[in-house]
Structure 1
Amino acid sequence: MAFALSLHMLAAVIWVGGMFLAYVCLRPVAGALLEPPQRLPLWANLFKRFFPWVWVAIIALPVTGHWMIALMGGFKNAGLHVHIMLGTGYLMVLLFLHLYFAPFQRLKKAVDAEDWPAGGKALNQIRQIIAINLALGLFTVLNASGGRFLYG
């Protein structure tokens, strides 16, 4: 159980922490200091480095989560916070899959073509999805850490 929980927490920290850094810290600075010809390649390259880690996380989180549920005796023994965590986690995965296969691909193509208006549109879609996923991720972390005390 300790190994599964450690991997689970590490994957969550990498994914949610990465979104927090990108959205809360880097986005305002990049927007204030860089014009689209510099800003859009920065984001495209940042995502190229970050998204492989997200892929690891979206595999590790469900695997370790279901592993821990099995070790606890199945869903009937899992608290409400675990069920909520599963729901928000799978929603986050679905949102990431959309982000990766739609607006991120458009961003890469726009940057390669130096089509800054199209790249800006794609980046704005990515920003919106990351905002939603960050909120879900922070809620999920709060639920995971304190939910068993709230829901009994």
Structure 2
Amino acid sequence: MPHSLLWSLVLAVHIISIALWIGGIFYAVAILRPSLGLLDATQRTSIMLQTMSRFFKGLTHAIPTALISGWLLILHEGGFANAPWTVNAMQAFGIIMAGLFARLYFGPFQKVRRAIRPQASAFDSIRTQMLIIMALGFLAILSACLSHPFV
């Protein structure tokens, strides 16, 4: 496999992972959750739990893939010491987002998942945390765009 093709594939994997992560969160908070308001509470809770379980399981693969592929790209481009501030900002946002996801997954999500009758307020807490992760994701994408030189 030619060298440039390999790094193009690493970049593609990185972008796909980010798209799944941020796009999935956008879908969950901006499209799915408001649409579930049409259902009764039991159905809404069941769908939210099933959806989050599947989505979060996917994120346990997408997030490490995004971080590792990003670090590989940094190493390929000259290493961490030579990375521009925009790449360092992108990396910082990604690490913070991953930490917030771990906190969300092992905290509020597990509490809701184990509850016999999860309360709506618990889902509101999860939604708020997902909105914060999504906002940081948008900032990471903005950082990526700022680091691309248009000549």
Instruction: Give the TM-score normalised by structure 2.
Output: 0.89
Match of 1:100 in 2: 105
Match of 2:80 in 1: 75
Q: Distance in 1 between matches of 2:113 and 2:119?
A: 8
Q: Deviations over 1:74-131 (max 9, x none)?
A: 1122111110001100010011001100111111122xx2x2xx43222111101001
Read off the aligned partner of 2:138 and give its amino acid letter.
L
Match of 1:133 in 2: 133
Match of 2:4 in 1: none
Read off the aligned partner of 2:119 and give its amino acid letter.
G
Q: Any conservation in 2 of the 1:79–1:148 contact (CA below 8 Å)? A: no
Q: Structure 1 regions of 5+ residues with no counterpart?
A: none
Determine helix, strand or coil for the equivalent of 2:119: helix
Determine helix, strand or coil for the equivalent of 1:102: helix
Read off the aligned partner of 2:10 and give its amino acid letter.
A
- Structure 1 residue ranges, 4+ long, deviating more than 6 angstroms after superposition: none
- Percent identical residues: 34
> How far is the alpha carbon of 1:147 from its aligned partner?
3.3
> How far is the alpha carbon of 1:26 from its aligned partner?
1.2
Instruction: Give the TM-score normalised by structure 1.
Output: 0.88
Structure that is richer in helix per residue: 1
Q: Any conservation in 2 of the 1:106–1:119 contact (CA below 8 Å)? A: no
How large is the Cα RMSD of the aligned pairs? 1.5
Match of 2:146 in 1: 146
Q: Distance in 2 between matches of 1:135 and 1:106?
A: 24
Q: Structure 2 regions of 5+ residues with no counterpart?
A: 1-6
Determine helix, strand or coil for the equivalent of 1:73: coil
Read off the aligned partner of 2:108 and give its amino acid letter.
P
